[in-house]
Chains A and B, each alone.
Chain A
Amino acid sequence: MLTFLLKRSLSIIPTLLLVSFISFWVIQLQPTSFIDTYLEDPRFSPETVVRLKAQYGLDQPVMVQYFNWLWGIVTRFDLGYSFVNNRPVTSLIGEYLWWTIEVAGLSLIFSWLVAIPLGIFTAVRKNGLVDSVASFFGYIGLAIPDFLLGLLLFSIILGLGGTNVGGLFSNEYIDAPWSWAKFWDHLNHLWPAILVFGLNHIASLQRQMRASLLDVLNQDYVRTARSKGLADRIVIYRHAVRNALNPLISSAGFTLSELVSGTLIGAVVMNLPTLGPFMYNSLLAKDQYVVMSILLLSAFMLMIGNLLADIGLAAVDPRIRYD
């Protein structure tokens, strides 16, 4: 197990290097850079632009720039400099990361809490009323883009006279110190976002759980358990559900990267201070180091998520041997 852990963790490194190079290269492909936009600004002379480029090392060959960036990350955890915010990227991402984890984490918990019981129920009562209703809404949930869902929900809230739309705080609380009023305001802004992201997840998660449990319920050992007279509850929860959860654990690895990716467009619509919209705005502003870093970070999270899922699977499923 320990050697597997070590091997599996080390195998991330070469992929991560390639990923970092692609993140860098994608940004190099962009037609103009942020500093270039200074050239159109009459307040900046061409000499200033040249000096700025030299200051940030942007006049060096592309490969040198890449290795400088990489070296900064590895040695100093320095992801580069945000030209738009005039701040290091690392501290900026730290700020956004907190809200990202809060929003995405809560909506993931919400979706698992709803989807798993629902998946179990619909599998046990296959083709029943709840199953039909759930499968109908499941299809809709898979078909509706999260940005549309966000737009609709916010319109409904506004239509009902609510004002808790956009961002995670009302304007008057953004810079205010924490208080119960601020916390309440925050919760009011939080639930629509969690609902929107959660609903999108629930649809696919419930389908997975249902399919996985139905597979297990057809296995011989379930029939054995039934025929020896065990109570239905024990057959389902002790024997079936525990095994049916295994495939979900491996797909849970993706959820870590969903923190950035899954909530991206919905978060842009809802104007949330999370990493997705931050990346989008930085992309439009050509703030290259921010975009590169978030790309790298999201890929890193996906890999870590898969690693954790592998370890988790090995821990819960004794059939899996890693030698």
Chain B
Amino acid sequence: MSVAVSSDVAVQEKVSYSLWQLALRRFKKNRLGVVGFWILAVMYFLALFAGFFAPYAIETQHVESPLQPPQGIHLVHDGGLRLPFTYPMKIERDPVTFEKKYSEDKTNPQAIRLFVRGETYNLLGIKTDLHLFGIENGKYFPLGTDKLGRCLFSRMIVGSQVSLTVGIIGILISFTIGIIMGGISGYYGGWVDMLIQRLTEVLMSFPRLPILLALSYVIPANWPSTYVYLGIVAVLAFIGWAGLARVVRGLVLSAKSVDYTQAAKALGASDLRIILRHIVPNLTSYLIVTASLAIPGYILGESALSFLGLGVKEPMTSWGILLAEVREGGFGVLTRTPWLLIPGGMIILSVLAFNFFGDALRDAADTQTRN
């Protein structure tokens, strides 16, 4: 008898999950979403410790090797297996066209070493010269160099700091504005509501790109690049909040009219308590999902602006800036210098990952169509 009771309890404990646990379980079932999450985790980790993973500083010009193709990693030299190594590149001139051509110097394998000393950089406030990998004498460019001989891999990793943070900071700003404006508009109504609604309407009347271009051109060209970066984020966020404010207003309006909110009001709860305890919890899942699906827009927006030369400025770098260098080279890029397109692959990968992740979150947060 007592045994039966305890097993009953065990069964009950097994099935009682909180909403968040249920959502997490549903999320984990979506394989693409989990893949997206891990891609993003790796990308942000690389961005955080960019100086360590990058073999060179982004502004160092290796003038002797401009537009060098990527150096492959090899394991076999002269028929014998070795630790990972690379061949240095040497420049030859084509005897007919006099074009510069790189080729691997197969006589001189260079071992790729881990934790090598190189250029000093700033790692989260600590000055250090330790890099994850490199070779001892000579140069190693895993993804080749640009026309000034700067290491593309290093520039891409460091550039991801800009490209990946634009979305996060932009979302924080636009969500703060959007939630406050939408919340006030929905909760208080009246003339404040009217005013805010007109404002969002006007902002939403502009197609995104033209107004983005015009606004980003307002940022003075002689500002330091950190200010320009913040300016770009602010411009992106300024365009982004209006749509959100409208949705938040609608959600607040419906949350305001449900019985438990009315009851709280009748019991004399303060506005703040009603907003924080009864309305905000209704919004959180929606906001999280919307945020993760909105970030790609910021990443694409930043890359587009930087690509057009209206975004982040040198010496800072971002994926958009790296692609702008491709544009200067004309359309022959795919045949002549295809490795310069790799930062574009990073844009696609990060946006894909965010979309996978966001879609999975949306499905996980959806309690209506539970299987």
Q: Are B335 and A158 in contact (CB under 8 A)?
A: yes
Q: Which single residue of chain B is at the shortest CB-CB distance from A17?
A: B202
What residues of A have a CB within 8 angstroms of the CB of B300 in the complex? 145
Q: B220 an interface residue at 8 Å Cβ cutoff?
A: yes
Output the residue of A22, A145, A155, A257 with the most chain B CB within 10 A. Answer: A145
Q: Are A299 and B218 in contact (CB under 8 A)?
A: no
Given A264-B209, A265-B307, A298-B206, CB of A283 within 8 Å of CB of B331: no
B69 CB to nearest chain A CB (Å): 16
Q: Which single residue of chain A is at the shortest CB-CB distance from B331?
A: A154
Q: Which of A69-77, A83-91, A92-100, A135-143 contacts B (4 or more CB under 8 A)?
A: A135-143
Q: B27 an interface residue at 8 Å Cβ cutoff?
A: no
Q: Which single residue of chain B is at the shortest CB-CB distance from A143?
A: B351
Q: B348 an interface residue at 8 Å Cβ cutoff?
A: yes
Q: Which single residue of chain A is at the shortest CB-CB distance from B221?
A: A31
Q: Are A147 and B307 in contact (CB under 8 A)?
A: yes
Output the residue of B208, B210, B351, B356 with the most chain A CB within 10 A. Answer: B210
Q: Are A22 and B356 in contact (CB under 8 A)?
A: no
A153 CB to nearest chain B CB (Å): 9
Given A145-B304, A152-B334, CB of A291 within 8 Å of CB of B214: yes
What residues of B have a CB within 8 angstroms of the CB of A284 in the complex? 217
Output the residue of B207, B215, B296, B356 with the most chain A CB within 10 A. Answer: B207
Output the residue of B198, B303, B344 with the most chain A CB within 10 A. Answer: B344
Contact with B along A255-275 (1 / 0, CB 8 A): 001101110110011000000
Residues of A263-315 at the interface with B, using a CB-CB cut-off of 8 Å, are 264-265, 268-269, 276, 279-280, 283-284, 291, 294-295, 298-299, 301-303
Our count of residue pairs bridging A and B at CB distance below 8 angstroms stands at: 128
Q: Which single residue of chain A is at the shortest CB-CB distance from B305?
A: A265
What residues of A have a CB within 8 angstroms of the CB of B217 in the complex? 30, 283-284
Given A22-B202, A151-B326, A158-B332, CB of A143 within 8 Å of CB of B348: yes
Q: Are A279 and B210 in contact (CB under 8 A)?
A: yes
Q: Are B207 and A258 in contact (CB under 8 A)?
A: yes
Q: Which single residue of chain B is at the shortest CB-CB distance from A254?
A: B207
Range for the number of chain B residues in contact with chain A? 35 or more
Contact with B along A3-35 (1 / 0, CB 8 A): 000000000001110110011001101110000
Apart from A145-B303, A147-B304, A258-B207, list 13 A-B contacts with CB within 8 A: A15-B205, A26-B214, A143-B296, A143-B352, A148-B347, A151-B323, A154-B331, A265-B209, A265-B304, A265-B308, A280-B308, A295-B211, A302-B207
**Residue ranges of A at the interface with B (Cβ–Cβ < 8 Å):** 14-16, 18-19, 22-23, 26-27, 29-31, 139-140, 142-145, 147-148, 151-152, 154-156, 158-159, 165-166, 257-258, 260-262, 264-265, 268-269, 276, 279-280, 283-284, 291, 294-295, 298-299, 301-303
10 pairs from A and B in contact (CB 8 Å cutoff): A26-B215, A143-B296, A143-B347, A145-B303, A145-B307, A155-B335, A260-B210, A264-B210, A265-B304, A303-B205
